[in-house]
Amino acid sequence: MTYAYDEQIDGPLVTHDKVTIVHELQALLPRLQLLHEAEDLRPFECDGLSAYRITPMLVALPSSVDEVQALLKYANTRGVAVVARGAGTGLSGGALPLEKGILLVMSRFNRILEIDPEASIGRVQPGVRNLAISQAAAPHGLYYAPDPSSQIACSIGGNVAENAGGVHCLKYGLTVHNILRVEIITIEGERITLGSEAPDSPGFDLLALFTGSEGLLGVVTEVTVKLLTKPQSTKVLLASFDNVEEAGNAVARIIAEGVIPGGLEMMDNLAIRAAEDFIHAGYPIDAEALLLCEVDGAESDVNEDCERVEILLRAAGATDIRLAANEAERQRFWAGRKNAFPAVGRISPDYYCMDGSIPRRELAKVLRGIADLSSQYQLRVANVFHAGDGNMHPLILFDANTPGETERAEAIGARILELCVEVGGSITGEHGVGREKINQMCAQFSSGELMFFHSVKAAFDPSGLLNPGKNVPTLHRCAEFGSMHIHHGVLSHPELERF
């Protein structure tokens, strides 16, 4: 699935040779912070989406804001593209390097600058790991809510770039709802603060615009996060169902009743069996679907909510409901879910993890559609969801060594995402667009909407040097991909030359 990156369409060509650039950058950075030999570059050739691999021209490891400013000013002056990278755990190739670009690795920005328990905020550098923030806040009874599955490794800078979610985002929101302020460096090397500790900032909401912009608008050098008080009590219910529709309806009923669970996850039979075989979580292997519903809050509230959820689950057709008896069993229930991806990896030579989102009410319809596609393409699909907020992760099982299966896997993946768009959903839930879904963006958006994205991009980065080829496709690419919605003959628009 390696992609021949076409810089002539998607990104600017560098006008200077590598030797010159390395030489010039050596004046800006200490020797050990600049990697340019082939063997040093290898570890950076992909992020969590390992299907795409490109060796960067060189890797810079700045350790101060001054160095980031100097690097970006240099890149801007020389017209060299820059890709910023956090921990490299992203699943959509957002940190995929450029053959002729600088990879700006932010791992040295790893300090927690401040935990202020009184204000319930933390101020951290972008290379700090997501989980490390909660660990630093724990002595004060506080934690940082968004918890992507990769939270042990992923960095907060990457979380901001991707607007990361997690199993608790139904109740506690995405990254954008849990940060107050970021400091960024623009491609011109200017240091700018977006957002504030105030609930509503005047002017345009540039913090929300920046969050999830996947490195296209600037490089984050500091993040101020909200910290929440740890809930007194947390309980998990595991419910079994004879069919996925009933499980889907149960989700809708719980939400409609006004209960906002801390997490509300769904797995289908193939995912259940794979996870049980791997983790021995105690899952019901004959169930067609299971729901995990976590309730958190004050002790007595949690007991009450658990009772309400149990009644709703039973009314929706649950055949069996189990409350985790203790913390160990609760952890085991979650371990099965959190390891569903590697578990599926054990029963198939290869799998392709999809990430789409749909309106909750379309859950049953989309599941039927996926089952039909599975028969049509003769590939098994295991379904794992953040059901509460309609974020689906179908896992397509295939064998790359069987001729044609890789192509069929890619094709069914694309069809599933188109199905998400058809029912009013979106081609990404929480993994971002990155390099992986750049073509699907042409299906999601009209050329009019894409033009706005390009205008906003141009407002921050007029030369298009920051992470070109990710997140927002050029109109040319969409025309080639064949999914361009032509509005008012915009493809002959004079501005097109710029995009």
Q: Which of residues 480-499 bind its own copies (CB under 8 A)?
A: 487-488
- Quick check: 29 binds its own copies (CB under 8 A)? no
Q: Which of 458, 479, 491, 496 binds its own copies (CB under 8 A)?
A: 458
CA 26-29-31 angle, 5° bins: 70
Q: How far is 241 from 268, CA to CA, in rounded Å?
A: 10
Q: Which of 108, 361, 485, 498 binds its own copies (CB under 8 A)?
A: 361
- For the chain, the farthest-separated pair of C-alpha atoms sits apart, in whole angstroms, at 70
Binding pattern for the stretch 146-185 against its own copies, x by CB under 8 A and - elsewhere = -----------------x-x---x----x-xx--------
- Quick check: 426 binds its own copies (CB under 8 A)? yes
Give min distance, CB of 51 to its own copies, in A: 19
- Quick check: 231 binds its own copies (CB under 8 A)? yes
Given the complex with its own copies, which of 57 and 254 has the nearer CB atom? 254
- Quick check: 428 binds its own copies (CB under 8 A)? yes
C-alpha closest to that of 90 among 387, 467, 422, 401: 467
Site for its own copies in 301-320 (CB under 8 A): 301, 304-305, 308
- Looking at residue 486, what DSSP letter applies? P
- Quick check: 77 binds its own copies (CB under 8 A)? no
Instruction: Give the β-pairing of 82-85 and 34-35.
Output: unpaired
Q: Among 1-9, 45-53, 366-374, 387-395, which window interacts with its own copies (CB under 8 A)?
A: 387-395
The structure tokens listed for 238 are 């595991």
**CB within 8 Å of 440: residues ≥ 6 apart:** 414, 417, 418, 421, 427, 433
Q: Which of 26, 229, 331, 378 binds its own copies (CB under 8 A)?
A: 229
- Quick check: 455 binds its own copies (CB under 8 A)? yes
Q: How many other CB atoms are found less than 10 A from the CB of residue 339? A: 18
Q: How far is 390 from 383, CA to CA, in rounded Å?
A: 12
**What b/e readout covers 286-316, taking b as 16+ CB neighbours within 10 angstroms?**
ebbbbbbbbbbbeeeebeebbeebbebbeeb
Give min distance, CB of 37 to its own copies, in A: 36
Give min distance, CB of 142 to its own copies, in A: 9
Give min distance, CB of 464 to its own copies, in A: 14
Q: Which of 200, 404, 489, 497 binds its own copies (CB under 8 A)?
A: 200
* Residue with token string 């995912």: 271
Question: How are the residues of the chain apportioned to helix, strand and coil, as percentages rounded to the nearest 5?
Answer: 40, 20, 40
Q: Which of 1, 28, 252, 364 binds its own copies (CB under 8 A)?
A: 252
C-alpha closest to that of 303 among 237, 241, 228, 229: 237
Give the distance from CA 411 to its chain's centroid.
Answer: 21
- Quick check: 281 binds its own copies (CB under 8 A)? no
Given the complex with its own copies, which of 405 and 430 has the nearer CB atom? 430
Give min distance, CB of 166 to its own copies, in A: 12
Number of residues that bind its own copies (CB under 8 A): 85
Torsion over CA of 340, 345, 351 and 356, rounded to 10 degrees? Answer: 10
- Quick check: 298 binds its own copies (CB under 8 A)? yes
Q: Which of 139, 203, 403, 404 binds its own copies (CB under 8 A)?
A: 203
- Quick check: 197 binds its own copies (CB under 8 A)? yes
Given the complex with its own copies, which of 58 and 295 has the nearer CB atom? 295
Q: How far is 23 from 18, CA to CA, in rounded Å?
A: 8
Angle, in degrees to the nearest 10, between helices 340-347 and 269-279 = 90
- Quick check: 206 binds its own copies (CB under 8 A)? yes
Give min distance, CB of 368 to its own copies, in A: 17
Given the complex with its own copies, which of 53 and 230 has the nearer CB atom? 230
**CB within 8 Å of 323: residues ≥ 6 apart:** 235, 236, 237, 306, 310
**159 vs 129, 147, 154, 432, CA distance in Å?**
10, 10, 7, 10
Give min distance, CB of 490 to its own copies, in A: 9
**CB within 8 Å of 311: residues ≥ 6 apart:** none
Q: Among 9-17, 196-204, 321-329, 477-485, which window interacts with its own copies (CB under 8 A)?
A: 196-204
Give min distance, CB of 423 to its own copies, in A: 9
Given the complex with its own copies, which of 155 and 444 has the nearer CB atom? 444
**173 vs 168, 177, 267, CA distance in Å?**
7, 5, 22
Given the complex with its own copies, which of 141 and 342 has the nearer CB atom? 141
Q: Among 144-152, 370-378, 403-411, 427-435, which window interacts with its own copies (CB under 8 A)?
A: 427-435
Q: Which of 32, 204, 375, 403 binds its own copies (CB under 8 A)?
A: 204
Q: How far is 82 from 104, CA to CA, in rounded Å?
A: 7
Q: Which of 160, 354, 441, 484 binds its own copies (CB under 8 A)?
A: 441
- Quick check: 452 binds its own copies (CB under 8 A)? yes
Q: Among 31-39, 151-159, 332-340, 443-451, which window interacts with its own copies (CB under 8 A)?
A: 443-451
Residue 139's Cβ-count burial label (10 Å; 0-12, 13-18, 19+) is exposed
- Quick check: 389 binds its own copies (CB under 8 A)? yes
